[in-house]
Each structure stands twice: as structure tokens, then as C-alpha cells.
Amino acid sequence: MFTFGAILATIFLFIFGVFLIWGLIQLFRKKSTRKPFLLSGISLAVAIVGIVLVFIYPAPPVTQNTAEKAESKTIKEDDKVKEASDQKKKSDSEDKAKKEKQAAELKKTQALEESKKLKEQQAKEAELKKKKDAAELAKKQEQEKIALEEQKKKAAELEEKKKQEAKKKAAATSAPPADTVYGQLPKKKLTKRSSELYSDEKNGITYIVGDNNNIFQVEVDFDMALGINIEMDKSFLVEHAMDYMADDANLIQTKSDREFVYESKKYKKKYDVLFVNDNDENIVTRVIVSKHM
């Protein structure tokens, strides 16, 4: 209240002076001074109230000396410094804890990211391995398939080869020998006289071929000077005729003393044999072996 009264008295004393001066000026001008003096009176009354308050509520007695005030001030300042230091430490501690927490969370996040990346990498590697294994398996199966097909092909070729060889063997067995009627021309030097006529001039043998170049007829010429008699030299003539028939050929029919029919049961073939005497009835100059007609 002392402070309030002093302030109140000071302010309204100042206002009182202002209104008093204003009233005096109005007085010198001979104008109405009622309002200025009224306001100045009110201001003086308020100022007096403030002065009364100052006396009623005097200022508290001074109980501390300067040293105590200084010490109290120092203590307060120290307390403030300590409080500021404690606050700073607390703030630093909180910041450190916050940073440590953030670092831990960041580390945890990084660990999770690393773990996630590792899992994704492992998943990718597993998928790649799976695809690689599948590709290798498919390749292996394809190779096995190709190998199996090759084996089948080789087996088929071998089987076909065996069949062909068997056919050839059967054909060789069933076909009459070369240089015999029904057989092929012999592998010796022959003179080709036409598309169907070949001759062995050295031995006086003539071949006539038919279908598939098989021998249709063989004709053996003898020099008339040899005087081969059909009756006395029949065995000789038969031997020459047998040279151009199958080994198992046997006489099955005698048509005359010059015409005969032989048969090979092995090859199921028949042969006509003819002893020809061109100029002399008893001298044979040719032996003809041909396919049976």
C-alpha cells in the first residue's frame, strides 16, 4: 500500500499542478475558471489520499545490510546458475537419451531393413536356384530323351540292317548261284554282243539274259573235230550241262535222247537241257541249258 499511495500521490499532484496552471491562465484571460479549479481540487484531494496511504502504510524497515543482500543475491545467482546447469544437464541428458533412442530405433530399422534385404536376396537366390535346377533337369531330361531316341534309332537301324542282311542271306540262299540258269552272270570277262547276249569267247560259252539280268539260257559250244558222240559221251555232256544248273538238280523227265528236264527242289526251279548236233546226227556240237518252258 505504501508504494501504491506514493504513486497515487505523485501522479495526482502532477495533475493538480497542470489544472492549477490552466485555472490561473483562465483567470488572467478573464474566462471561466470553474472547471480548471474544480479538476485541480479533485486532483489535490486524490493526491492527499495517496499521501495519507503513505503515512498509514509506511515502508518496511530495512533488516539486511548490503553484505547480506550481496550474499543473498550471490546465492540466488548461484541457485539460478545451478538450476540453469541442472536444467542444461537435464536437457542434455534428455537430448542424449532421445538421440540414443533415435539411434537405437535407427539401428533397429536398419537391422530390419538388412534382414528384409537378406531375406529377399535369399528368396531370389532360392528362386534362381530353383529355376536353374528346373532348367538343368529339363535339359537332362531332353538329353536323356534325345539319347533314348538315338538308341531307338540305332536299334531300329540295327534291326533294319539285320532284316536286310537276313533278306540278303535268304535271297542268297533262295537265289540260284551265279553262272547258272536263273542266276546272275559270272564275274569274268565277257563280250557284250547285245543287251541280252554275252559271250565267253575263250571257252566258247554264250549267255542269254532275261528279266533282272538273270541268265535265261547258257549255250556251250564244242569243236566238231572232237567228235563227241551222243551215245558214247553222254556222261561228258551231262557234266557240262550240270555246270549250269543247281547242285541238287536231278533228271525228272527224258523227252528224247537229246532233250531232258531237270529239277532243283532246293530252289524250286526246272531246267531244259538240249544236246544239239548241227551237221552230223551223232556228233554233238552244242549243249544248251535254259529255263524250263
**Tens of pLDDT, residues 49-67:** 667 666 676 666 544 456 6
Residue 25 lies in a domain: no
Q: Are residues 149 and 244 in the same domain?
A: no
In the predicted structure, residue 174 carries a pLDDT above the cut 80: no
Percent of the chain with pLDDT over 70: 84
Q: How far apart are the first and last CA of the chain?
A: 173
User: What local confidence, expressed as pLDDT, does residue 74 receive?
Assistant: 77
Q: Are residues 269 and 223 in the same domain?
A: yes
Same structural domain, 126 and 225:
no
pLDDT higher than 70, residue 268: yes
More confident residue, 242 or 66: 242
Do the domain assignments include residue 264?
yes
On whether residue 147 sits in a domain, the answer given is: yes
Give 21's pLDDT tier (boundaries 50, 70, 90): confident
pLDDT in tens, 203-221: 999 999 988 889 999 999 9
pTM score, whole prediction: 0.44
**pLDDT (tens digit per residue) in 102-141:** 888 888 888 888 888 888 889 889 988 988 889 889 988 9
Q: Is residue 50 part of a domain?
A: no
3-class SS at 263? strand
Spatial distance between the Cα atoms of 242 and 273, rounded to a whole number of angstroms: 9
Co-location of 162 and 197 in the same domain: no
Cα–Cα distance between 143 and 178 in angstroms, integer?
49
Confidence at 223, pLDDT banded by 50, 70, 90: confident
> What average pLDDT does the chain have?
83
Same domain, 192 and 225: yes
The pLDDT, as a whole number, for residue 197 is: 93
Specify if 239 maps to a domain: yes
**Domain assignment of residue 132, given as a range:** 108-172
Residue 246 shares a structural domain with residue 214: yes
Given this model, what pLDDT does residue 64 score?
Answer: 47
| 187 in the same domain as 166 | no
* 210 shares its domain with 280: yes
Q: Count Cα atoms within 13 angstroms, Cβ side, for 114.
A: 6
Tens of pLDDT along 245-258? 999 999 999 999 88
Q: What angle do CA 19, 20, 25 make, to 5 degrees?
A: 95
Looking at the chain, list the stretches that DSSP marks H as alpha helix, in order from N- to C-terminal side: 2-28, 34-56, 66-174, 234-242
